[in-house]
């Protein structure tokens, strides 16, 4: 699985580098915005290029965004988005996982996403 994760991260980082040329308001030093996350997901094949708010895939994208607390945090860290997408593709990075109790007031996968005091996933 590690090989799959490394391959995925190379592809993800290549997409980020290409965004510098194709996205006017892209800033590698800032968190990923909802719009940029959509571009990343479309480029990497997670979303169709022509996805609209009425399509089920868009709703799933919104759920992923909220799962990563993108609205509350005014964006997501590039590494956090990369890891979430890597998990969706079937790869894991055990060094990013911890053994702890699930968050009680959340449901589904949200119960298993935990941020530390520095805001790291």
- Tokens matching residue 91: 């790869």
Determine the 3-state secondary structure of 76 from DSSP. Answer: strand
Neighbouring residues of 99: CB distance < 8 A, sequence distance ≥ 6:
none
- Residues 99-110 have pLDDT tens digits of 766 667 766 656
Q: Report the length, in residues, of the chain.
A: 121
- Residues 56-111 have pLDDT tens digits of 889 999 999 998 999 999 999 999 999 889 888 877 777 766 676 666 776 665 66
Q: What are the sequence ranges of the domains in the chain?
A: 2-93
Q: Note the pTM of the prediction, 2 decimals.
A: 0.79
Closest C-alpha to 2, from 94, 112, 121, 120: 94
């Amino acid at each position: 699985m590690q090989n799959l994760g490394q391959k995925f991260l190379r592809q993800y980082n290549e997409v980020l580098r290409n965004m510098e040329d194709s996205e006017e308001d892209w800033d590698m030093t800032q968190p990923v915005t909802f719009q940029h996350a959509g571009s990343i997901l479309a480029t990497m094949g997670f979303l169709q290029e022509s996805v609209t708010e009425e399509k089920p895939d868009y709703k799933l994208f919104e759920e992923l965004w909220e799962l990563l607390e993108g609205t509350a945090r005014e964006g997501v860290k590039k590494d956090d988005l990369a890891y979430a997408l890597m998990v969706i593709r079937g790869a894991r990075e055990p060094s990013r996982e911890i053994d702890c109790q699930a968050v009680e007031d959340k449901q589904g996968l949200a119960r298993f996403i935990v941020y530390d005091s520095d805001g790291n996933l």
